[in-house]
Structure 1
């Protein structure tokens, strides 16, 4: 028996855990010789495909030059190039790049930046506004700004209070009214997943609502934090989901696809006013955050290879083709069996099976086993079935994914 304690895994169910030896494109190759289609991009990280050659080459080359460097008081060329590359393609107002190593830590950094922004100006604004059903990670701050429930109930004594606004469903006005009231009361920041709430059930909302939320924050001076850890790098059909609302946040969280999903790296980008609030001759006002592996050179090399792919290749055209192919297959599936609330946005397709709702509804382990037996990796969110494959997935592989779903 392996001593490993796996994430989001109830070992008491004694579910088999396949051993994967290698991967390529949209395929995982098991120790037993099986090929498994990775229909969820290994938790939404893999964009161009597993072991994408340009990214693998960049990692190998960097590993022979500089493996690790303290980033407090030092810098290195891979990090400088990542920062410059991000500045070139991200909103102009995001002038500063702070490195970390995961989506959760990028959110922690964003929250600390927002609170520091107000504290260093002598204003007692500390209330964070969040959206119902949100998920921003599993560290303490990230859990605090996420949906309260099964994810974090045992840890409630550690979490700080937030103001929650409703998810903008059929009528977005209650959401906008609640945000207006919170901002009028002096909220420090709003943090949202733009357009798609991921772990909360792949819930979609309109760009116009996102634009109005940004405008409300701007009217009241509330900082707008966009958590694009999942929605960034083309997942919703544009480089950033915020682009579809024609907005730019004050603080932006990026990870997952930043390296094409090959290796952990994250950044939190901030506007110049957020940076300037921490700029002083007083060392007590510096930004107190780091990790040992901040801006790891090998991870930065992977990110630079990914940035080159975005510069030189038609990535968004691939996402658009994938969106069309996903829509066709969801429509065909709806003709074969009863599904609810079918939806496709960019490279994400989702719908509900059965009558349940919520993360623990439905028999998720059984559904996962069913799909694995047919060579497909899916990880339903309760009764919500979704596909979010690498952009390189083939027609035949997509057919196999939806054939497996059709027989659940």
Structure 2
């Protein structure tokens, strides 16, 4: 399998593109090109095509519209000190993409082929990569069931698409977010699709997100579906809790139970925190632990992490049981240290001891 390149013959003018890259927002503008690849059960994956960004034409009876067979990924390309561009742990995204696809009964894309498509688009649209620290080219690979038919069964045809958008920080790093702890809605249950990065999980979270907004909160934090007391994750991010301060601090995150998305940023932070000399733990954390920990001062900082947000401090939590502020409600020193350390590796200003960066240009 290879990439057939037929890039846009009418790219955005340089002045206009540069203006958009300077103030990118998130998902506001899209690059000149995209990558598309087709799969069917008889012949497998065909060559991918890099072509001009544009609409997809699909029959109204295309299966994805009716049965939700869809998965996606989120990853980033970062400018380096010499002006080059690197991807951050693309093989990890490729493996998770394949695992998500298998859970939704879609075909698994080979890791090498997945990474080739990412590299091809970044090379073609390299001028769209923002230059500021904390900004990036956000890459969105996704796969949808594209067989035409209304029978409830796995599709025998799938389409892979890759698009990209220049991205600023998802949240203001100098400001902590407030989260709503949902006791009414759950994100996932054992045996469900919690470990898969599929659109249905996010669609199911939107009602709780509306509820959070009504309560004056930025995001939703979910608890488990069985005992209804164990903290799992936020709508699109994993959570971290810090006990203590300084080098004696312990950095904890809810352990993977089969209902949480195995975040690549989450995994990277566990390693980075150990590199920085902190103790880390993957464990079960209850709502009571959260409430009592911040009230006693034992929990000194909380932050959320994900590809889009990187690291974002959680200043307060609200629920039907009350409001709990963490510390002074502002980003704490360890949260800021973790964020700076991760961005330093991603942007190439800090040594990459683990070989996470993959140079593209």
Q: When you count strand as a share of all residues, which structure comes out higher?
A: 2
Report the TM range for the smaller structure's normalisation.
Answer: under 0.3
TM superposition score normalised by structure 1 = 0.22
TM superposition score normalised by structure 2 = 0.24
